[in-house]
Amino acid sequence: MPDVCLETARTGHTMAFAPDIPGAYGWGPDRQTALAVLAEDIRWKARWLNSHGLALAAGGPLRVVETVPAMGTASHYDTEGFFRWDARAYTDREVEQTRQIISWSRADLMALLETLPRGKWDVRLDAGKRTVAEVADHIAVAEWWYTWRIDIPNPLREDWREYPRDPAAKLAAIRADVQLFLDEMARLHPSRRARQFVKNGETWTGRKVLRRMIWHEIHHYKLLLPYIDRLKEL
């Protein structure tokens, strides 16, 4: 029975996370839709994690354990949600599990990108939507951004523009530094691992950083699967 945390806007728009299922997420214009999307995503994430050797007990009904209000619209990429789950100190095991899962998502992402000729990376299929190159760049920069949400020794460059402009090279360079950042998280004394930091009005902890970092790349990988299939047909 996965525990679920909800972030709900006044409009009813809802984000749903199952924090104990790495990367599991749902969104909808209302609570019911968000939970239905989350249930499907839990099944997808469980299959994906199982394919990499991480077995999860993801069955059973969802159990909503916390609901927090959204200051804005609770859009897909709203990062303000902070739950009791996030407030707990992260463990060494969670750091290493994050390292392992993002290595799987990166390997799968790069394998997917390599199936598409570079000439199609900049093709925009839908007005207002990112190209594949823009998505890859966004994944890299977001990962950089997450590391600066908490105040610990940070080996990443303070300005993401100092990294390579090429999306594939940027992904690799930032990820190499993120590995060093995870080393810093693992070195942090347990008594400091639940510290809370407020960045631009949002509350962050190390555990929230790990949760969001796992979610972000695999979320975009899942969205890219059908998009790249469409590009291949051109």
Q: What residue spans define the domains of the chain?
A: 3-81, 85-232
Which pLDDT band, with edges at 50, 70 and 90, does 198 fall under?
A: very high
Return d(Cα 231, Cα 228) in angstroms, integer: 5
116-125 own/partner pairs: CB under 8 Å, 24+ apart? 116/228, 116/231, 116/232, 120/231, 120/232, 120/234, 121/167, 123/231, 123/234, 125/227, 125/230, 125/231
The residue-averaged pLDDT of 154-161 equals 98
The residue-averaged pLDDT of 34-53 equals 96
Which pLDDT band, with edges at 50, 70 and 90, does 75 fall under?
A: low
Q: What is the pLDDT of residue 234?
A: 87
Q: What is the pLDDT of residue 112?
A: 98
Per-residue pLDDT at 167 exceeds 90: yes
Which pLDDT band, with edges at 50, 70 and 90, does 76 fall under?
A: low
Tell me the three state secondary structure of residue 189.
coil
One fold for 3-81 and 85-232:
no
- Alpha helices (runs of H) in 9-52, residue ranges in sequence order: 31-51
In the CATH hierarchy, which top-level class contains the domain 3-81?
Answer: alpha beta
What proportion of the chain, given as a percentage, has pLDDT over 70?
98
Considering the chain, what is the average pLDDT of its residues?
96
What proportion of the chain, given as a percentage, has pLDDT over 90?
91
Per-residue pLDDT at 185 exceeds 90: yes
Instruction: Indicate the fold that domain 85-232 takes in CATH.
Output: Four Helix Bundle (Hemerythrin (Met), subunit A) (1.20.120)
Q: Is the pTM of this model over 0.75?
A: yes
Which pLDDT band, with edges at 50, 70 and 90, does 26 fall under?
A: very high
